[in-house]
Amino acid sequence: MKKMTIKALAATAMLMLAPVAGFAGGGGNLHLDHVKIDMGDKASLQRGFKLFANYCLSCHAASYARYNRTASDLGISEIMLKENLIFTGAKVHSPMKVAMPAEGAKDWFGKTPPDLSVIARSRGTDWLYTYLRGFYLDPKKPVGTNNTVFPDVGMPHVLWELQGWQEAAERSEDGHVTKLTLVEPGAMQPEEYDAAVRDLVNFLAYLGEPAQLERSRLGPWVLLFLLVFSFVAYLLKKEYWKDVH
């Protein structure tokens, strides 16, 4: 009986891990560039939020997040929020919705842009980092571009002004693009663009788990409490055992 339970548990655990392993594998020979996420870096999160509001919210919602909660988590004032980050006419306490109707988007791009609230958890941060740097010119596609990690993606290269345009430079035997070259520079140097995308991915990681910031803020206090508590417990123990010895 006990053995059965362990087997069942193991099977459940494997089922739960399967999608993770699938993504980690990235579908065959897919190479993902690693990005270091640091949710403690408020300046990076603020820059990421700005990019997100400017370049992504026109099509994608993040409807699990509210503007004012996000702003206060990231140390952004309400005035700053209203003047620089809300373009849809939404109220400060509204969830981040898109102005564009979903049907319209489907007609234009063939797919409805998904909600990005938890995208960092479903795709992983390395995938997002590679995806947002992986658009290249492909005249065969309706939007004129394609993507290394998301072949035939319906999303246009919305950050082209910053990154510029890339072309496929090398392909693997099965036709996957393995290397890109910049054929027309954008407003940013490649390193600057990588850093900007890192900020954006950092922000998306925060969106997927806003409680993370609160946890890391509370962490040191919890440890301090445990330390003080252990000391008091030690004193008490000494007091109790004094007479026994």
d(CA 112, CA 158) in angstroms, rounded, equals: 16
Assess contact for 199 and 44: CB atoms under 8 A: yes
Which x/- pattern, by CB under 6 A, does the window 27-66 give for ligand HEC? ----------------------------xx-xxx------
Structure tokens at 111: 């797919």
Q: Could you say whether residue 97 binds ligand HEC (CB under 6 A)?
A: no
Interacting stretch for ligand HEC, rule CB under 6 A, among 14-22, 38-46, 63-71, 110-118?
110-118
Angle 193-203-183 from CA coordinates, rounded to 5°: 20
Choice from 155, 177, 205, 207 touching ligand HEC (CB under 6 A): 155
In the bound state with ligand HEC, the residue whose beta carbon lies nearer, of 41 and 115, is 115
Question: Which run of H or E residues covers position 178?
Answer: strand 177-185
Choice from 30, 90, 92, 109 touching ligand HEC (CB under 6 A): 109
Total binding residues for ligand HEC by CB under 6 A?
Answer: 22
Choice from 44, 67, 113, 149 touching ligand HEC (CB under 6 A): 113
In the bound state with ligand HEC, the residue whose beta carbon lies nearer, of 66 and 127, is 127
d(CA 43, CA 215) in angstroms, rounded, equals: 18
Q: Could you say whether residue 23 binds ligand HEC (CB under 6 A)?
A: no
Choice from 62, 71, 98, 128 touching ligand HEC (CB under 6 A): 128
| Coil, strand or helix at 62 | strand
Can you say whether the dihedral through the CA atoms of 111, 115, 120, 126 is positive or negative?
Answer: positive
Among 210, 182, 57, 50, CA closest to 120: 210
Choice from 154, 186, 190, 210 touching ligand HEC (CB under 6 A): 154
Among 163, 164, 165, 138, CA closest to 151: 138
Assess contact for 219 and 193: CB atoms under 8 A: no
Q: Could you say whether residue 158 binds ligand HEC (CB under 6 A)?
A: yes
Q: Residues in the site for ligand HEC, rule: CB under 6 A?
A: 55-56, 58-60, 109, 111, 113-114, 116, 119, 123, 128, 131-132, 153-156, 158-159, 200
